Amino acid sequence: MKIYISVDMEGLAGIVHFSQEKEEKERFRKAMHQQLSWVIEGIHDSSVNDQIEEITVADSHGTGMNLDYELLSGMDDRIALISGFPRPHYMMPCLDSTYDVVFFVGYHGGVGDLASNMDHTYASRAIHRLSINQEAMSETLINAAYAAEFDVPVGLVISDRGLQQNLAQRMPWVQTVCTKDPISRFAAKYLPQKVIRETTIAQVKAVLESDLKALPRLRFESPFVLEIEFNFGAQFDLAMTIPGIQVVDGRTIRLVSENYSELFEMIMMIVSCVKTAYPFA
């Protein structure tokens, strides 16, 4: 049995503003490790612990250099850490059909999600709206559909309440752990650590002890129509230099693909490209 864990930061308790990630980086690195340690506790307490061969952890925040390999290895010697950037498949590298379940830890609402703390989709300075088949997307939905390409279900999402409310409509089968109740985009009420730890352990056990093969997979219908509306026209201009991009309006591009894995990579290419336009926007 193999578990894949993709770890982001904005959905963790203890952070409400992007500036804190740089100004208090070490504290938030500690928060990432702490939340992961509770996930590992849940794995250890589960009845299937002895069946688990590998726990792959993808450091999926920013440039993917937040998690400490030695510290994680001390939690469980089955942990394999993915770190660094750039890399293929950004938040989901090395995922394949040999995995049994995916966990999303520290995930957050998509850009424009109501009642979500620090809502964004990949790049808050660039992306005003991102949709697939006319449905607004979060990183959670995009990554879950990518996991489905390998027939691997998402079983657990640890996030703020805003993303939970969104997933209750779109992915009601997933177990969730709430870390904070958003008050506004840059304000939230953190839940007590004791509550988050105990809920994490319980939900990890519930997922692992369930019938994983019976969990639904999130899939979109082909052809996949990606639309991205940028914050600034200069970002649109730069995106239009990429072959295959279509014009929707002066800030919005469209890309149509029959292959979701290719579309997944194109999203990362577009986002990485347009980030360089920000100083000129």
3-state class (DSSP) for residue 105 = strand
**Tokens 């998402």 belong to which residue?**
154
**Tokens 């009601």 belong to which residue?**
172
Q: What is the DSSP letter of 94?
A: T
Could you give the percent of the chain with pLDDT greater than 70? 99
**Residue 163 binned pLDDT confidence (cut-offs 50, 70, 90):** very high
Domains by residue range for the chain, with CATH? 2-120+138-214 (3.40.50.10780), 224-280 (3.30.1360.130)
pLDDT at 146 over 50: yes
Cis peptide before 216 (omega within 30 of 0): no
pLDDT digits (tens, 9 = 90+) for 233-250: 999 999 999 999 999 999
Separation CA 189–CA 181 (nearest Å)? 5
Mean pLDDT of the region 99-128: 95
- State residue 114's pLDDT score: 86
Q: How far apart are the first and last CA of the chain?
A: 48
pTM, full prediction: 0.96
Mean pLDDT of the region 73-95: 97
Cis peptide before 93 (omega within 30 of 0): no
* Nearest residue to 252 via CA among 135, 126, 110, 149: 126
**Angle between the 161-170 and 139-148 helix axes, to the nearest 10 degrees?**
40
- State residue 281's pLDDT score: 44
